[in-house]
Amino acid sequence: MTSFHKKINRVIFFILFTLVFLFYLWSQLIGVTFFLLIILDFFFTKFIQKFLKNRLDQNFYQILKYSLLIVLPFVFAIFIRTFLFDIYFVPSSSMERTLFPNDYVLINKISYGTKIPKHMIDIPVIGSLFKKDNEPHIYDLYRSLKRFKDLKREDIVVFKSVTDNAKSLIKRIIGMPGDTLSIDNTTVKINNILLEDKPEYSYSYMDNTQNKMFLTQNYSNKEYNTLNLALKKNLEKNITQKPSWSFYIFPYSKQLEWTRDNYGPLIIPKKGMIITLNKDNLPIYDKLISQYENEKITLSDNEIYNYTFKNNYYFMMGDNRHASIDSRVFGFVPENYVQGKLIYKYSNN
| Domain-embedded: residue 297 | no
Residue pLDDT, tens place only, 153-194: 999 999 999 998 888 999 999 999 999 999 999 999 999 999
Query: pLDDT tens digits for 207-254?
Result: 876 555 567 889 999 999 999 988 888 888 999 888 888 789 999 999
- Residue 44 belongs to some domain of the structure: yes
Is the pLDDT confidence value at 316 over 70? yes
Q: How confident is the model at residue 99 (pLDDT cuts 50, 70, 90)?
A: very high
Task: Say if CB 244 and CB 261 are below 8 A apart.
Answer: no
192 inside domain: no
Predicted confidence (pLDDT) per residue in 273-315, tens digit: 999 999 999 999 999 999 999 999 988 888 999 999 999 999 9
Which stretch of DSSP H or E encloses residue 251?
none
User: Which amino acid type is present at position 8?
Assistant: I
Q: Using the 8-state DSSP alphabet, how is residue 82 labeled? A: I
pTM of the model: 0.90
Between helices 58-79 and 47-55, what is the axis angle to 10°? Answer: 150
Tell me the DSSP string of 25-63: HHH--HHHHHHHHHHHHHHTT-HHHHHHHHHS-HHHHHH
Mean pLDDT of 193-201: 94
- Cα 279 versus chain centre, distance: 31
Buried b (16+ CB within 10 A) or exposed e, 124-146: bbeeeeeeeeeeeeeeebbeebe
- Identify the three-state secondary structure at position 335: helix
Q: Give domain status of residue 172, yes or no.
A: no
pLDDT band for position 8 (50/70/90)? confident
Q: How many domains does the chain fold into?
A: 1
* Assigned domain for 18 exists: yes
Q: What pLDDT is recorded for position 117?
A: 93
Is residue 57 situated within a structural domain? yes
- Per-residue confidence (pLDDT) for residue 69, from 0 to 100: 86
Three-class SS state of 297: coil
Q: Is 36 contained in some domain? A: yes
Ramachandran angles phi, psi of 337, nearest 5°? -90, -15
How far is Cα 282 from Cα 264, in angstroms, rounded to an integer?
15
- Look up the domain containing 55 and give its range: 3-80
Mean pLDDT across the chain, nearest whole number? 90
Nearest to 159 by CA among 122, 199, 188: 122
Note whether residue 65 is domain-resident.
yes
